[in-house]
Amino acid sequence: MGEKSMTAEGFSIRQMTEGDIAFGMTLDEIVGWNQVVADWVRFLRYQPDGCFVGMVGGKPVGTVSTTCYGTEMAWIGMVLVHPDHRRKGIATALMKHALDFLDARGTQCVKLDATPAGATVYEQLGFIREWDFHRYQKDGKADQEALAIGAGAGGGGFAPPVTDREAFGVNRDQWLMRLAEGSRVEQFQDGYGMLRPGRVATYLGPVMAQKADTAQVIVERLLAETKRTVFWDVPGPNEEAVKMAQRWGFAPVRPLTRMWRGKKLIVGRVKWQYAMGAPATG
Ligand SMILES: CC(C)(COP(=O)(O)OP(=O)(O)OC[C@H]1O[C@@H](n2cnc3c(N)ncnc32)[C@H](O)[C@@H]1OP(=O)(O)O)[C@@H](O)C(=O)NCCC(=O)NCCS
């Protein structure tokens, strides 16, 4: 039914450009998501051929992003449809477009982090639940300014440790180096962590460490950098990480589900994952 109504309204899909970021931020505000302009710029510049916008009557109505880590693994994110255009098959069409792009590259494993509404769409496209997790939040002072990442304050020159490859499952060094440029970074031999500004709250993650003690020091140092409300997406299967978030005074605020589709599930080492990097990119 979706396809029929979309054809009637002249639905089409095109590549996203930086000119679409203002529309993306409008969608972020409508749904209360945390991305700032720098986040959109980052994933768009990283994967300019894999980010798309749905159009109806010459106007943008929805978005989707892909972030490829070689051909082994890729993430789909930013699946957003304007409330005036929901339940017409637009998210499904954008997802199919993104999956065609990833399949054409020979991507082995496609992952995403789904909201409950999103999970219904993705299940119908063959995505399988890998594990559930929660966004945790710790309230800060509302009048606090966003974390500033001025020149020299970010993690320029960050060398991603091998710990990340084993924890995440594939090499995403090129992506992490870009993320570090917009983040405060703490790095140790057996782990690292980042903290970056968000629209609603400061975002803690990724935090990857071989030992809980290392993760603890990383989290402590990063949290000392902000008095704002902080979001922390905690991998559900890592009980140490869940306990750590609770000890720091964080409480679960949103259920999410990691899902995957493809030829081979890449699991990584979840016990080394203390905080995700972002629901849109893993
Ligand atoms: C989730 C979202 C992207 C869905 O977009 P959409 O264009 O309305 O989705 P589709 O029309 O392609 O939906 C396809 C099917 O998925 C299911 N579905 C979609 N939205 C649903 C919802 N809110 N609740 C339950 N089922 C839903 C339905 O089965 C639907 O088919 P139907 O309309 O024939 O019943 C949109 O509601 C949105 O932007 N929500 C806020 C942001 C968000 O949660 N994004 C997902 C991030 S993982």
Pairing outcome for strands 73-81 and 59-69:
antiparallel
- Phi/psi region, residue 275 (left: phi>0; alpha: psi -120 to 50; beta: rest), is beta
CATH number for the domain formed by residue range(s) 2-131: 3.40.630.30
Sign of CA dihedral 8, 14, 20, 21: positive
Distance 176 CA to ligand 1 centre (A): 30
The atom of ligand 1 lying closest to the CA of 80 is 39
Distances (CA, A) of 251 to 90, 138, 139, 234, 255: 33, 7, 9, 11, 12
Distance 143 CA to ligand 1 centre (A): 34
Q: What would the two tokens of residue 278 be?
A: 């972002």
The atom of ligand 1 lying closest to the CA of 115 is 48
Query: Of the candidates 184, 187, 255, 260, which has an alpha carbon nearest to the alpha carbon of residue 223?
Result: 184
Distance 223 CA to ligand 1 centre (A): 35
Does the fold of domain 135-275 match that of domain 2-131? yes
Where are the chain's structural domains? 2-131, 135-275
Could you list the beta-strand ranges (E) of the chain.
11-15, 52-56, 59-69, 73-81, 109-114, 128-138, 184-188, 191-196, 202-209, 230-234, 251-262, 273-275
Q: Establish whether residue 30 lines the binding site of ligand 1, counting it when its CB lies within 6 angstroms of any ligand atom.
A: no
The structure's pTM equals 0.95
Q: In this predicted structure, what is the pLDDT of residue 7? A: 54
CA atoms of 28 and 133, how far apart (whole Å): 21
Q: Mean pLDDT per 10-residue run, the chain (282 residues)?
A: 56 98 98 97 98 97 98 98 98 98 98 97 98 97 73 72 96 96 95 97 98 98 96 98 98 98 97 98 98
Q: Establish whether residue 31 lines the binding site of ligand 1, counting it when its CB lies within 6 angstroms of any ligand atom.
A: yes
Q: In this predicted structure, what is the pLDDT of residue 227? A: 94
Q: Are 277 and 205 in contact (CB under 8 A)?
A: yes
**Nearest CA owner, ligand 1 atom 24:** 117
**Nearest CA owner, ligand 1 atom 23:** 117
Q: In this predicted structure, what is the pLDDT of residue 154? A: 65
Residue with tokens 């949290």: 223
Distance 32 CA to ligand 1 centre (A): 16
Length of the chain (residues):
282
Distance 238 CA to ligand 1 centre (A): 29
Q: In this predicted structure, what is the pLDDT of residue 157? A: 80
Q: Establish whether residue 255 lines the binding site of ligand 1, counting it when its CB lies within 6 angstroms of any ligand atom.
A: no
Pocket probe mutation, ligand 1, options 11, 81, 99, max atoms within 8 Å of Cβ? 81
CATH number for the domain formed by residue range(s) 135-275: 3.40.630.90
Q: Establish whether residue 114 lines the binding site of ligand 1, counting it when its CB lies within 6 angstroms of any ligand atom.
A: yes
Q: Are 121 and 94 in contact (CB under 8 A)?
A: no
Q: In this predicted structure, what is the pLDDT of residue 147? A: 80
CA angle 100, 19, 279 (to 5 degrees): 55
The atom of ligand 1 lying closest to the CA of 27 is 39
